[in-house]
Structure 1
Amino acid sequence: MKLQNMSAVVTGAASGLGAATAARLAAQGVHVLGIDLAASIEAAGTPPERVQYRSADVTDEQQVAEALTALESHTIPPLRLAVNCAGIAPARRLLSSRGVHDLETFQRTININLVGTFNVLRLAAERMAAQDPLDESGQRGVIVNTASVAAYEGQIGQVAYAASKGGVVAMGIAAARDLARSGIRVNTIAPGVVETPMLAGLGAEVSDALAASVPFPHRLARPDEFAQLVTMIAEHDYLNGETIRMDGALRMPPQ
């Protein structure tokens, strides 16, 4: 699929992986609807050219539907790409000095990371399926979800996060098969440790230790490398139902 004459929706677009993806797509001429929470959008400031921010909670059906409807009403090219980057990464052991892992944190993590991804996936797919095919194979669009290496090697304190990202991985092949007859591909990226504001909040000592654990390249991944992989997936018509680890050969230890 060529990144021409098309629109894309990117969630979590005001920072980190989402911001890098929105900027890269916009630089290639794609009209981008960036979805994020209002506070994140305000903190992000002026969006890049061709990026339109809209405040919406990815877990809210009506808010996401209204954002996508607003995109269609601007008489811009049809929606062909959706990238799910919105997510949270709480840290809590099942049992600790604070007591048992609270249910609310687990439910909230599943709701944002997994249910939110599903919500955007299904609503974006509905609109893509209504578009004319792009080629003789009947391709209409691509959806890229974001998992994590924690889906495979969840560390101590990551039980909620690992469960949510494991769900995203498992959902990918089923969604790809469901949407095949509509000409919509679904793929997943499972990043390792990426240099994002979420990671920076843990402090330089933690970031340095994580970077030292990556076999090669011996550093943290960059958000623009994630964005580069998104565009490669979109352009590679035979990639479907796959989860691609972007981790420098990292396999996470228990902690």
Structure 2
Amino acid sequence: MTSFEVAAVVSGGASGLGAATARALAARGAAVTILDLNADAGEALAAELGGKAAFVRTDVTDEASVAAAIAAATGAGLPLRIAVNCAGIGWAERTVARDGSPHGLEQFTKTVMINLVGTFNVLRLAAAAMARTEPAEDGERGVIVNTASIAAYEGQIGQVAYAASKGGIVGLTLPAARDLAGIGVRVCTIAPGLVDTPLLAGLPEEARTALAAGIPFPRRLGRPDDFAQLALAIVEHGYLNGEVVRMDGALRMAPR
């Protein structure tokens, strides 16, 4: 296995997919900076991972906040080569509710701002930092892994805001990879299916079992470690670029 003696940033890194990825990167030798709003969870994870991990409280929708986090990640002397975007929220609301009221614009805007604009904000600032590093093998300076969702393709009833935000991440993957090809930065996206994150952990066990039963194979919920394993595989595979990889056990979502 490759040892990652580089700096890495993980947005949404204090829990769920991000925490699993931060742990996996740290285990491979990367100096990981955890970007998250949850200071308690972020500081606890950084302490767990030891001296090569750090936490920076970060609002991914705020330019100055992300710039400060990227500066902190690059301040330890290692080149920034890896950025994984996991920050995001879910939202469920119909375009028009049964009582005739329209979807809240504020909720739609917030979902798109955090999931899509926040992803792009980290991507652009991380890529700019990578552009200032010396190229490695094949001229590569870094890799950025984003998180979409299979809702980008099969958004369910009530997922219009979430699906739009994740569809935007799918849509920017190829043009971002083409934009950044000249500086040697790859861009890929993972589109997970049903993963056992804190969002699903609050469901009753009966509901979780029913969800898992609908997945063709393997008939279980995805695990954050599955995501982390795929993220690291993308980092290692230097010829993967501009691609969105579904990680869903062959699940195709029904309307509801």
| Alignment TM-score > 0.5, same fold | yes
User: SS of the residue aligned with 2:168?
Assistant: helix
Aligned ranges 1:20-31 → 2 under 5 Å: 20-31=20-31
Match of 1:246 in 2: 247
Superimposed CA distance per residue, residues 205-228 of structure 1 (whole angstroms, 9 cap, x where no aligned partner): 332221110000000011001000
- Whole-Å Cα distance in 2 between the matches of residues 90 and 52 of structure 1? 30
Contact 1:95 1:101 in 2 (8 A): yes
Match of 1:88 in 2: 89
Match of 1:68 in 2: 70
Match of 1:112 in 2: 114
Answer with 91-100 or 143-152: which moved more. Answer: 91-100
Match of 2:41 in 1: 41
Following TM superposition, by how much is the alpha carbon of 1:71 offset from its aligned partner in structure 2, in angstroms?
Answer: 1.9
Match of 2:216 in 1: 215
- Whole-Å Cα distance in 2 between the matches of residues 134 and 179 of structure 1? 15
- Whole-Å Cα distance in 2 between the matches of residues 44 and 170 of structure 1? 35
Match of 2:197 in 1: 196
Match of 2:130 among 128, 133, 137: 128
Following TM superposition, by how much is the alpha carbon of 1:72 offset from its aligned partner in structure 2, in angstroms?
Answer: 2.1
Match of 1:4 in 2: 4
- Whole-Å Cα distance in 2 between the matches of residues 81 and 102 of structure 1? 36
User: SS of the residue aligned with 2:10?
Assistant: strand
Following TM superposition, by how much is the alpha carbon of 1:253 offset from its aligned partner in structure 2, in angstroms?
Answer: 0.4
Match of 2:181 in 1: 180
Answer with 91-100 or 208-217: which moved more. Answer: 91-100
RMSD: 1.6
Following TM superposition, by how much is the alpha carbon of 1:95 offset from its aligned partner in structure 2, in angstroms?
Answer: 1.7
Following TM superposition, by how much is the alpha carbon of 1:239 offset from its aligned partner in structure 2, in angstroms?
Answer: 0.3
Superimposed CA distance per residue, residues 75-123 of structure 1 (whole angstroms, 9 cap, x where no aligned partner): 3x11000000000011111122462210000000000000000000000
Superimposed CA distance per residue, residues 11-58 of structure 1 (whole angstroms, 9 cap, x where no aligned partner): 001100000000010011111000000356368554422321110100
Contact 1:193 1:220 in 2 (8 A): yes
Answer with 91-100 or 147-156: which moved more. Answer: 91-100
The reply to whether residue 79 of structure 1 matches residue 64 of structure 2 is no
Q: Percent identity?
A: 59
TM-score of the pair, normalised by structure 2:
0.95
User: SS of the residue aligned with 1:166?
Assistant: helix
Following TM superposition, by how much is the alpha carbon of 1:4 offset from its aligned partner in structure 2, in angstroms?
Answer: 2.6
Answer with 145-154 or 49-58: which moved more. Answer: 49-58
Unmatched 5+ residue regions in structure 1? Answer: none
Counterpart code for 1:60 = D
The reply to whether residue 170 of structure 1 matches residue 164 of structure 2 is no
- Whole-Å Cα distance in 2 between the matches of residues 164 and 74 of structure 1? 33
- Whole-Å Cα distance in 2 between the matches of residues 236 and 42 of structure 1? 28
User: SS of the residue aligned with 1:100?
Assistant: coil
- Whole-Å Cα distance in 2 between the matches of residues 128 and 43 of structure 1? 25
- Whole-Å Cα distance in 1 between the matches of residues 245 and 42 of structure 2? 32
